Amino acid sequence: MPYPAARRDPRPDTYFGTDVPDPYRWLEDADSAETTAWVRAENEVTFAYLDQIPFRTELRERLTQLWNYARYGVPSQEGKLLIFSKNDGLQNQAVVYALPPGQPLSAAEVLLDPNQFSAEGTTALMGLHFSPDHRYLAYTTSGGGSDWQQIRLLDMASRLPLPDELDWVKVSGVAWAGDGFYYSAYDAPPPGEAALAGKNEFHKVYYHRLGTPQSADELVYENPEMALGFRIADVTEDERWLCLSLTDGLSDGNRLLVRDLRDPAQAQVWTIMQPSYEFETSVIGSLGDELLLYTNDHAPNFRVVRVDPRRPTDWAEVLPETSEKLEGISLAAGCLLATYLHDASSRVRVYSEAGAWRHDVALPAIGTAGGFGGRRDDKVLHYAFTSFTYPTTIYQYDPATNGSTVFSAPTVDVQPADYETTQVFYESKDGTRIPMFITHKKGLALDGQNPTYLYAYGGFNVSLTPGFSVARMLWLERGGVLAIPNLRGGGEYGEAWHQAGMTPHKQNVFDDFAAAAETLFAQGYTSPAKLAIAGGSNGGLLVGAIMTQRPDLCRVALPAVGVMDMLRYQKFTIGWNWAPEYGTADDEAQFRNLLAYSPLHNLKAGTAYPATLITTADHDDRVVPAHSFKFAAELQVCQAGPTPVLIRIDVNAGHGAGKSTQLQIAEWADVWSFTLFEIGNE
């Protein structure tokens, strides 16, 4: 194909005596005229190719039909009001409603409509934070998919906005205490610095008092000696304990500090509850003078402990570590509600606040449950349940009776009974046993000719559990197979599983993924000519690494917003925060490891690569689009096979969170059209 010309700079970088070319460094400047022209030219090539796929319009229309159903978020009780989100179907953003007590759902009133935040529907609502007395609502928004957020205030009595506006917020909570709240932010970027690409340093915690300008906010915590790391504040439900989580950008855990807000003597004093950056430790809630902590300190599968801050090293076990990972825990309705993972699916158990088992929650099927949050005096809680062919359903739950009733069940234009999901276990290259979910129509012929979409992540302690995706239903109803393996690097089996896929063991993740494909071949589900591999972000790195190591493994590669330049990722926005996962090129041993699999640096001229559709967005300030830009430019030069290498670049979109419905439908229609066209299925 005639791809747009891209200037190559022959100047290499030198790492520990090794010269490494970086010919497309100029594409890191997303705002330059040269980059802008290249992006425009690439999109023209991409959309011209997609436009000639005969069934693309049909797929987009069918996706629109599938997407057009009402879906709810998990409600929360805020004072006398039940607060929930709902998307009527094709709204770009879900709307937040408030339901008065004793009223049917139809009587709910609109509280916030993010579709009114911007003309294009690309400004998303990222979080709701009610003051303890429910007089005020602080809500966070994000424009165009950026990780930068803004905090705005709403008076709940009048439903009118307050003048308070806080900017340059990132990786932050909103923790109410007294007549204001704590939050985290960065200094505004200097004039002329790219806000979407510049390195984020010196995270700070502030206290904002209602009715005052942001410039008057009190600086609560900073560390001028440590440029990297996050500082995130939280306050317990009783407004007594201010909790501060600190990371260092080098380790995988966090230090935990607390302060008693009721004790004037502690106004400038922090008590260290967790001194090490090695472990993950967070506060679940307070029980008077004591705190409940969720931690993997000497417990890779996590546990719950109780501790008095006056004796911070004296930990009493409440929920001991088990053979299953404790994925989540909440203190609500006078109970501890614990979600465990059993082979990557949810099991929810209810305990007393002292840790005595009461009962297990009866879930509808093998799948994923989430929610169960609330206040200690709540009587009723809510949760969501989903699986691959089970549309996300919201339940009301009574911990006292262990009874669940449907709050809202969607009506979707699919027939779940037509499909089946199985879980298989296979051996990776080193003999490790890996689980994989496989979903398809009942009666599938195992003749090796089924179009198959193999999706995975494998990193950052993220667990891929069963979940409903209306976009994937289109693939399934057209006879496709969906396969999702739970690779090492994820969190499905606790911290040991995670660490087995971190530096210097990242190759395990790629080996696990390749073995998943080989298993699908051996069991007759598909063949290399019918296989598409996919992943986003860290999963985009996975796809990039696989297609460079095993270009013969699949017909189609779909790397989305991927980390493709492993030697420079830490130089942009919050990329430094991934150093514990990957290592950096600043260390020689880690550099050698990164260079061995970095997708950008392992492309080889004269190689027949799979048909590739790279997807990214111009507002992605988490994995900056330069990763995808540079990878696409080099891959187009190296491609020696007959299949296309395309890059699809969204405008006014980011890493994925908050992406409008219309943008999602358009992207998925293009992804499925490209995949089916290249595989030879219509």
Say which amino acid occupies 444.
L
As beta bridge partners, residue 340 has 326, 347
Would you say 436 and 455 are in contact if contact means Cβ atoms under 8 Å apart?
A: no
Instruction: Return the H-helix or E-strand segment holding 678.
Output: helix 661-679
As beta bridge partners, residue 112 has 96
As beta bridge partners, residue 141 has 125, 150
The residue with tokens 């509808």 is 364
Burial of 44 (0-12, 13-18, 19+ CB in 10 A): exposed
Which residue out of 537, 598, 628, 660 is catalytically annotated? 537
655 is catalytic: yes
Q: Which residues are within 8 A (CB) of 298 and not within 5 positions of it... i.e. 6 or more apart?
A: 279
Q: Which residues are within 8 A (CB) of 587 and not within 5 positions of it... i.e. 6 or more apart?
A: none
Say which amino acid occupies 570.
Q
Please write down the HEC assignment for all residues of 248-289: CCCCCCCEEEEEECCCHHHCCCCEEEECCCCCCEEEEEEECC
Strands, sheet with 241-246, edge to edge from the N-terminal-most edge strand = 231-235, 241-246, 255-260, 271-274
Secondary structure tally for the chain: helices H, strands E = 10, 39
Would you say 407 and 394 are in contact if contact means Cβ atoms under 8 Å apart?
A: yes
The residue with tokens 């909570």 is 173
Alpha-carbon span 67 to 106, nearest angstrom: 21
Alpha-carbon span 317 to 294, nearest angstrom: 10
**Residue 103: DSSP 8-state:** -
Phi and psi at residue 274, in whole multiples of 5°?
-135, 110
CA dihedral 109, 113, 115, 117 (to 10 degrees): 150
Biggest CA-to-CA distance, the chain: 73
Alpha-carbon span 277 to 256, nearest angstrom: 9
Which residue out of 131, 655, 660, 673 is catalytically annotated? 655
Among residues 556, 551, 544, the alpha carbon closest in space to that of 627 is found at 544
Catalytically active residues, by annotation: 537, 655
